[in-house]
Amino acid sequence: MGAIFDATATYRYTLWRAWEQGNSRLCFILLNPSTADATQNDPTIRRCLGFARSWGFASLEVVNLFAYRATDPLQLRQVQDPIGAENDQYLMQAIGRSQRTILAWGNRGTWKNRHQAVLELLSPNQAAYCLGLTQIGQPRHPLYTKSNIQPQRLAWRLEFATKA
């Protein structure tokens, strides 16, 4: 159980939870962190934990397109650097440590073309999954899906990445 923040706790770069011994780690790439920290979960993290456990994983890591902490995603537009200086480094590390990566940032991930930049961090040989697509073709956020959904594999050259 833990999380890594910048020195001011303005940016959360990664958050992880483990409940069993083992190497099976699930990674979620979401939009931006909210209130969850090293010990406290928020509704999104609780939902991701539920999925990870039901799919048989031993641990969960959550990273985001934007590392700036905000309870309202519109707050991202009010800061000079919503991504965070070290965010891509933590994204790549989390993807590399995980056995499965779930893309789940919702419609707002297209802002600043950030979804494209993060998709480029994925290896062409690496499978990516989602919880379904929104009406505009972006990967659904976990709070807006049914609890019994199964991850859906996406092709490497993701069709939804070009719809925005």
Tell me the per-residue pLDDT of 99-150, one tens digit each, with 9 for 90 and over.
Answer: 999 999 999 999 999 999 999 898 777 889 999 999 998 999 999 999 999 9
**pLDDT tens-digit series, residues 69-113:** 999 999 999 999 999 999 999 999 999 999 999 999 999 999 999
Read out DSSP for 85-137?
TTHHHHHHHHHHH-SEEEE---GGGGGGGHHHHHHTTS-TTS-EEES-B-TTS
The answer on pLDDT for 164 being more than 50 is: no
Q: Is the Cβ–Cβ distance between 42 and 84 less than 8 Å? A: no
Q: Which two tokens stand for residue 15?
A: 């958050």
Query: What pairing do the DSSP bridges indicate for beta strands 25-30 and 59-64?
Result: parallel
Q: How far apart are CA 85 and CA 28, in angstroms?
A: 20
33-60 mean pLDDT: 98
What pTM did the predictor assign?
A: 0.94
Buried b (16+ CB within 10 A) or exposed e, 36-51: bbeeebeebbebbbeb
Amino acid code (one letter) for 6: D
